[in-house]
Chain A
Amino acid sequence: MSPRKKFIVSHAPFWHNSSSIPERTYHSFLAALPAAIVGIHYWGLPALAVVALSIASAVLWELVINHVSKLAVTIGDGNAALIGLLFAMLLPATTPWWAVITGTFVAVILGKQIFGGIGGNSFSPVVLSVAILSISWPHLFDFDGMLVDYDLDFVMVYPLAAAKHFGAGAVADFSFGDLLLGRQVGGIGATFGLGLIAGGIYLIIRGFIRWEISISFLAGVFAAALIFSLIDPTRYAGPMFHLLTGYTLIGAFFLATDDSSSPANFVPMLIYGAAGGILTVLIRNIGAFEDGVIYAVLVINLVQPLIDKIRPNALGKVV
């Protein structure tokens, strides 16, 4: 008798649609790149250095924790690189090297790995890291102060700071065209609105992020800003200004949509996004901070498990 052939035996289903985690992260990475590249174009080599150092150090921190915890090496899934890129995109171009490395440490290790790695984090690692750094070293996120040596051919004032301190009148200096094309002061990759919108739309169409979150986040920002500007048009900037400045777009498409810290059901996604958008404008207009996206995203990350309990009854559920 010939030796028996050995077959693969496993459980149903035997088909898979061949989606994968690396696919999701690499496409998010690609979608974020245009905005980062335009940022590097405006802010020059220092910005490139920050982006490169951030990605490299994030991947290295992931490798270090993999070895320390004696678990499988997970840098191949691209999540650490994506964290590095997104983190750099939120920083001003002149961020010192130690702050970048500390930031990626906080993001990768405190933000993600101590919760058990990818999928275990209850906060977006990038947002958590920016929050911790901006509290520890507030001057690092003072864009006007950090970018004071730059003199480019557009208004060299951080738009949200201008709106906060000088009211809606100061906002008139910024044209929507400039804001869309990245001709504004801000984080390296957070200013090029057009690129962020294009990247976001790409991710939505490909199904890598959920449109419900992004759209409701933007709608929340728009509605809340509109109400404020209707109440007092001299003090509060209009909704379009809020949509195109600060971290709004990168927050809507790349930060609030972080898989493991956002809900999965339809209605919770809408609530989650809208709450984030409204909180952003509340913090910007009546809170102490210039930009509210970071804390708004942290708060909605926090309540996500609770709101994700709003879900349709399973078929045949006996109450």
Chain B
Amino acid sequence: MLKKSFVGIIKPRLEYESLTGRVADPIQIPPPSTATLLVEGPVEKRDASLLSEGDAVAAGQTLRHSEQSDAYAVATVSGTVGTITPYTGDFGRIYTAVTVLSSDEKPEPTDPVVSTPPSLDTALSSLTCLPGAPPLKMFADETRPIHTIVIYGGDNDILVTTNQYVVKSRTSSLERGITALKQITGVDRVVVAVPGEAMQTYGHLGAEVKKVDIAYPSAFPQMIMHSVLGQTLPAGKACEDLGICFVTAEAVASIGDAYKTGQYPVRKLITVINKAEKQQLVSAVIGTPISDIFRQLGITLQDGDRIIVGGPMTGSAVYMEDYPVMPDTSALVVQDKNAIPFVSDYPCVNCGECVRICPTFVPINMLVRFLEAGFYEEAADQYDLYSCIGCGLCSFVCPSKIPILQFIRLARYELERMKSAEATHESS
């Protein structure tokens, strides 16, 4: 973990990892005996005729549990459906967890899921769970037309090198993916943003290539919009509101592979960061319990350790070892219990470290006082709650160890809930 430097007057600078030279190939994790897939929506609304225990499924087959919802998952191993249970994710999001027991029997071949030519309808109905989770739904929203696709060839978080590896090693897939993505979405302007140097090597991709600074958090969509596209995102708006959609390099490469082979790509590339903060790229089938990956890499876990899905600055901690690899799991971090920094309820002393490190100039010293007291609306109106991009640098440098980012996300969540409660109240 990066410590405060002795010369504290210099702003701490977290940098993204850059892959240079020859990069080792990812370690292949064998397909799991049981894959767990999460489908959005409550298990109670399940339509038993669509999905029930014991159904035979083939790899690449979409699993839907309800006619009323578009949500689906894609089976990544062939076999039979094991259990169907409810699962609650972060911020109370409701999922249905479906396990698929892998079997060696060859299933009867199904229709090739990826049929040519690419179109938005077929892509929407089968490709949103590709490794890298392409946000194809954005393109179906007619109220917010997308005119620019930004493919970022790096990762949001420090130490993570998943997408950089994709850009370096799967250039032809990326190229095909860009062509397919243009056909699917009808969007002409594609910008490839790559971290740091070596941008001249991507000239053939059929897209504008732009360079992104390697200081954290320049790879956040809001920062890329500001520094690379020269557009400042108004506070509280999403990039899609301005017609710009961010897609990860891995998602684009997966689309490219899907249309090339007609097969559904099931392997997700993951940067695993072990207790000694050494990275290792692995390739695992989506739905693999993360304990399989740890076993393969020889990482042992004890009570009191921390498992983080995502990077060290923006990920989310999970409480079970058999949490599955998801389409958007780009990193796994394991922290030893002795290396875990704790938060505290100490008051803000107004030292201003957060104010000086905030990339979007949010007056965090004032904001956090309002958030601690629960004055969320005032915080949003006067102290730029919605300008926060969630990089977590304020919590990283806070000497009082206040969980500032958690306060900010809680405030936004509560404001969102208030707004929707008001909306239902008015409509009734």
Contacts and interface: CB of A to CB of B under 8 A. Distances in A.
B125 interface: no
A259 B409 contact: no
B151 interface: no
A207 B341 contact: no
Contacts of B397: 17, 19
Given A14-B333, A315-B359, A317-B387, A21 B9 contact: no
A114 interface: no
B361 A313 contact: yes
A12 B313 contact: yes
Nearest to B352: A264
B284 to A, nearest CB: 20
A138 interface: no
Contacts of B10: 207
Contacts of A259: 349-352
Q: In the complex, which of the residues B7, B314, B351, B409 has the most CB atoms of chain A within 10 Å of its own CB atom?
A: B351
Contacts of B352: 210, 259, 263-265
Nearest to B386: A316
A43 interface: no
A15 B313 contact: yes
Contacts of A12: 308, 310, 313-317, 392, 395, 405-406
Given A7-B317, A8-B337, A264 B351 contact: yes
B317 A15 contact: no
Interface string B350-369: 11110110011111010000
A104 interface: no
Contacts of A19: 4, 8, 353, 397-399
A314 B353 CA distance: 16
B143 interface: no
Contacts of A148: none
Given A13-B313, A317-B387, A21 B349 contact: yes
B306 interface: yes
A210 B307 CA distance: 37
B163 to A, nearest CB: 19
Contacts of B351: 24, 259, 264
Interface string B273-313: 00000000000000000000000000001111111101011
B343 interface: yes
Contacts of B17: none
Contacts of A262: 350
B350 A260 contact: yes
Q: In the complex, which of the residues A11, A21, A260 has the most CB atoms of chain B within 10 Å of its own CB atom?
A: A11
Interface in A27-44: none
A208 B315 CA distance: 30
Interface stretch (B50-58, B170-178, B232-240, B264-272): B232-240
A205 B361 CA distance: 23
Contacts of B234: 316, 318
B87 to A, nearest CB: 15
A16 B341 contact: yes
B321 interface: yes
Given A210-B352, A314-B235, A9 B306 contact: yes
A67 interface: no
Contact of A5 (B12, B235, B301): B301
B148 interface: no
Contacts of B304: 6-8
A3 B171 CA distance: 45
Interface range on chain B: under 10, 10 to 19, 20 to 34, or 35 or more? 35 or more
Given A13-B313, A15-B313, A118-B347, A7 B396 contact: no
Given A205-B8, A318-B235, A13 B350 contact: no
B27 interface: no
A206 B8 contact: yes
Nearest to A261: B350
Contacts of B1: 15-16, 18
A5 B318 CA distance: 12
Interface string A240-271: 00000000000000000001111111100000
Interface string A202-246: 001111101100000000000000000000000000000000000
B305 A7 contact: yes
Contacts of B406: 11-12
A23 to B, nearest CB: 7
Contacts of B318: 7, 9
A297 to B, nearest CB: 16
Of all A-B residue pairs in the complex, the 5 with the closest CB atoms, nearest first, are A207-B8, A264-B352, A13-B392, A16-B341, A315-B360
27 contacts: A5-B321, A6-B304, A6-B319, A8-B304, A11-B317, A11-B409, A14-B306, A15-B341, A17-B3, A17-B4, A18-B4, A18-B341, A19-B8, A20-B399, A118-B349, A207-B4, A208-B8, A211-B9, A259-B349, A260-B349, A311-B361, A312-B361, A314-B235, A314-B361, A316-B386, A316-B387, A318-B235
Given A264-B356, A316-B233, 15 more contacts: A4-B321, A7-B307, A8-B304, A9-B317, A9-B318, A11-B409, A15-B1, A119-B349, A259-B350, A311-B363, A314-B235, A314-B384, A315-B233, A316-B237, A317-B384
